[in-house]
Structure 1
């Protein structure tokens, strides 16, 4: 007996950039696609940046709001070779919103796996289900559709390592007094004057008139609290000569960022595929995931279309698509990057700027490989080997201890 006809070929839970990008790519390949989200029309508010060479070639030019070759400041100032792009968030959301994709306002709470004579299904908060030939989890780090029990299995109950940031949007002329009118990818100078875990200033233009100034904690377990980041940012801006009146308090001119950078691998039920931060595709060292999601969406959609039209069983469809997201090379590179994250978390706070000074002194090919080459194991190993060779004996010792023992080897302090 054949299973009942599914509601859609592909149902995607989560209407963020990863979910909308894949849904749009699936619809472009004539797959019946349904997007499910509790608030599908909500405006995206985060600022998205990426290296320009990572962005898809077909991304409309107007979506890039600003671009430039920035600088990184640790113990020295390093001019970056690659162009950094800041996206127009509203334009990106509009671009990824395809009228060919059906939308249902509902909250997903889980998934039932595919089985013999049974399609996978999305479980909704109201108790109803949506069957599809493949179900996609694009719910971010919450991993709503993963089999339960994964959130703490990886670390035995430890809190997640998080990237956190607090930022304000100011006129360009005001920001120039802080940044020197430069795109600051990282400025590790402790101008905030506060002790504890190091943070850096991220200063990027949002357009010709506005600049985001953001105090950022790259990774900490648990994440540095928002009040501490806000206090550091205000102290940094005051030290640069800004008055209290020039530092916004209005929520419309502030940004808060908090997301894990070490989410466990998605334990997907049969017939379910995870994308974006749910997979997770977040780079453990930078926190970036947007460009990867945009680049992978057409490839994933092509595999889904080919396997669905070829009559592949639901379990096989999701498995084939999962190989695009998690090829053996990508899994290996991600594991190397995760070990790099543990090394950073285990490093004494005072040594972090010195470590990044050596990182940004690497040849551009090595920096680019570590930040971007998600499926090039050789290039990633070469980058990490080159970095090790440039470290001081003291930093090498921290790296070795962090590699062998992980973040447990050093007590994290604020």
Structure 2
């Protein structure tokens, strides 16, 4: 959700919706990538001292709202809808597009529906192709590389892409407009529930009514009840990262490969304090090279509990770039990424439907979410139509149960516990253990590692993956598995039992 508020609902549009986002102008050498539309540039180029600390450079591109003409809901309109979706991020807009496709009346409520999405998203190309969204990618790389250490590099024959936030938002919003979705600019303050209807109260006092309310506003939402079992703790892991899109003099990465993980630590040879911390809670570099002097770089803690210090992440990034000889001339964009991972699912079912980051779809072992969210939206929309479509009117408890179970059928809940087991295992590994784990993991048959990263494995698949992983592991990794996995395994078994009786 955006951060700005408007206390009065804006007037309806006076002309036909148009979608003509501009392409952000970059220097000629940088025309391999389109940045989000409608951004301003500070043309003054600054440079750090040779291989020095770039953190004092300010991002030059400041986001501005899109100039789409949206069909606004205003005070004189009838305030009754079939579905109200809170949040106009990727999850909310995608679900609004899919639900409204069936002719269901949808209203999307957000403090600023026209804001630019702040986060960068990377996806496997085949996932977006399967959804018909491959035209929403800025750039693709035919392969991905994994640096296990200085002497071991793996190459993955799977095409990877960077999502264009402007293209994806334009496509999804255009679908919403075509299907009759209405937008309301406001912050949801309260939700009142009756037997067959819910009332959404906005901060300006405006009330909107619907048979179903979907909260797609993110993990920090206060409208989703997570106390599904008193015996289960909210023991989330956290992924934290610092990312920058930068202009550099030079970088050492191949232009036809993105760097999925770089676990090397030779850059910390002269940083004993940082090296000691990294050996216990490691971070890796994730890199998307767009040209010889334009690259997105992100230093990432895959998962930690408690969360790793953001300053530690940035210091390790500075040391890594200095070691690689990367001199940052300009910071075009930067972002801080903090993703809660794992933990219990929301209580299933409940009156408000969660979707996106607050629904448990974040991959507990990798942090990936965007592709799976895009894929789940048609499934959830179909379930909503089965209840609220023109030929049916199933509301109340039966509606909530049907919609929740469409996203979290019992087998998927069991499989998610397996992914959480993977997260708990990673939390117990130091740098050497993590390297050994991924060395064995990416030696698995592509069906298993691809299915794991894309959240597509069944329980049977997961069992075979575990056996194969143990068989491919080094002796030290097998020792780690035997000595460090019993407790996470017991937790996983207990949680599956709780899910099955809940």
The normalised TM-score by structure 2 is: 0.72
User: Structure 1 residues 189 and 114 mapped into 2: Cα distance closer, same or farther (>3 Å)?
Assistant: farther
For 2:414, the equivalent position in structure 1 comes to 332
Structure 2 distance, partners of 1:57, 1:222, is: 36
Match of 2:238 among 142, 162, 166: 162
Aligned length: 395
* Contact in 1 for aligned 2:348/2:401 (Cα 8 Å): no
Residue 86 of structure 2 corresponds to residue 13 of structure 1: yes
Deviates more, 1:199-208 or 1:362-371: 199-208
Match of 1:83 among 144, 153, 159: 159
Residue 389 of structure 2 corresponds to residue 305 of structure 1: no
Match of 1:281 among 315, 336, 361: 361
For 1:183, the equivalent position in structure 2 comes to 258
SS across alignment from 2:399: helix
For 2:347, the equivalent position in structure 1 comes to 267
Q: CA deviation at 1:267?
A: 2.4
For 2:470, the equivalent position in structure 1 comes to 388
When the two chains are superposed, the root-mean-square deviation of aligned CA atoms in Å is 2.7
* Contact in 2 for aligned 1:14/1:35 (Cα 8 Å): yes
User: Structure 1 residues 388 and 111 mapped into 2: Cα distance closer, same or farther (>3 Å)?
Assistant: farther
Match of 1:34 among 107, 110, 124: 107
Q: CA deviation at 1:206?
A: 5.7
Deviates more, 1:145-154 or 1:179-188: 145-154
* Contact in 1 for aligned 2:87/2:110 (Cα 8 Å): yes
**Gapped runs of 5+ residues in structure 1?**
410-414
SS across alignment from 1:370: helix
For 2:445, the equivalent position in structure 1 comes to 363
Q: CA deviation at 1:173?
A: 6.5
The normalised TM-score by structure 1 is: 0.87
Residue 226 of structure 2 corresponds to residue 226 of structure 1: no
For 2:145, the equivalent position in structure 1 comes to 71
User: Structure 1 residues 208 and 349 mapped into 2: Cα distance closer, same or farther (>3 Å)?
Assistant: closer
**Gapped runs of 5+ residues in structure 2?**
1-77, 269-273, 492-502
SS across alignment from 2:157: coil
Structure 2 distance, partners of 1:205, 1:28, is: 37
For 1:412, the equivalent position in structure 2 comes to none
Match of 1:343 among 425, 428, 431: 425
Structure 1 distance, partners of 2:131, 2:487, is: 44
SS across alignment from 1:235: helix
Cα deviations by residue, 1:370-397 (Å, 9 ceiling, x for unpaired): 2124352211221122112222343233
SS across alignment from 1:86: strand
Structure 1 distance, partners of 2:405, 2:129, is: 20
Q: CA deviation at 1:261?
A: 1.0
* Contact in 1 for aligned 2:250/2:292 (Cα 8 Å): no
Residue 120 of structure 2 corresponds to residue 47 of structure 1: yes
